[in-house]
């Protein structure tokens, strides 16, 4: 999607239909329909416990196979969200986990990476642009949810991936069985031109 460039008008300039279309209609269409995408998966991601708090290991890339919406071919069935128009985007990764009363407790991690050509998506990589961790207390039947929302400036051609990690010795998968699978999702929304 092309990002419109505002026109500076001059005194006594004759305005044509082409001017109105290029400088009013097209920017308005863009603002009413900005680049955006949201995906989810009907298959849980299993992130096995490692029994250690080593932040560089045990991550599992998340896979996506369902589209809630995609205005600009930003999802291409490769588990990545692609940037088709440069600018600032709001990025959201929301992960709900299976849970029962776990006796030991542990941590759940999520991570978003930009242009990561690897397959681990671990914390601390040079490509990391956002991360979240929650501690799950032992023995409690409570919701276990990671939610990450942030703004980031991207270039056209960039892409992002999501990964998860779990240190609980049970409840290894995303997607609570009693809830809709679409509650775990990955989204991008264009919010501004950037610098």
Segment 68-93, tens digit of pLDDT: 999 999 999 999 999 999 999 999 99
Q: What element of type H or E holds 27?
A: helix 26-32
In this prediction, residues 169-191 reach a mean pLDDT of 78
Place of tokens 């849980």: 44
Q: Which CATH class is domain 35-192?
A: mainly beta
Segment 1-32, tens digit of pLDDT: 566 677 788 898 888 898 888 888 888 888 88
Kindly list the domain boundaries of the chain, sorted by start residue.
35-192
Cβ atoms of 116 and 131 within 8 Å: the answer is no
pLDDT band at 182 (very low <50, low <70, confident <90, very high): confident
CA angle 120, 123, 124 (to 5 degrees): 115
- What's the residue count for the chain? 195
List, as one string, the DSSP characters of 129-146: EEEEEEEE-TT-----EE
This prediction has a pTM of 0.85
Whole-angstrom Cα distance, residue 195 to residue 189?
A: 17
| Residue 53 pLDDT | 46
């Amino acid at each position: 999607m092309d990002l419109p460039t505002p026109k500076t008008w001059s005194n006594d300039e004759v305005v044509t239909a082409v001017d109105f279309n290029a400088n009013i209609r097209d920017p308005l269409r863009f603002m009413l329909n900005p680049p955006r995408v949201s995906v989810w998966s009907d298959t849980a991601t299993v992130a096995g416990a490692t029994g250690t708090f080593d932040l560089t290991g045990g991550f599992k890339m998340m896979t996506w196979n369902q589209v809630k919406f995609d205005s600009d071919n930003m999802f291409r069935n490769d588990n990545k969200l692609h940037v088709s128009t440069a600018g600032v985007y709001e990025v959201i990764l929301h992960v709900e986990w299976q849970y029962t009363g776990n006796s030991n407790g542990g941590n759940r991690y999520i991570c978003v990476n930009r242009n990561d050509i690897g397959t681990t998506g671990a914390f601390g990589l040079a490509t990391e642009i956002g991360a979240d961790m929650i501690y799950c207390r032992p023995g409690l039947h409570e919701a276990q949810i990671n939610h990450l929302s942030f703004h980031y400036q991207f270039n056209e051609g960039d892409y992002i991936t999501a990964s998860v990690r779990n240190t609980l010795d049970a409840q290894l998968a995303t997607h609570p069985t009693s809830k809709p699978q679409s509650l775990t999702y990955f989204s991008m929304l264009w919010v501004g031109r950037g610098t």
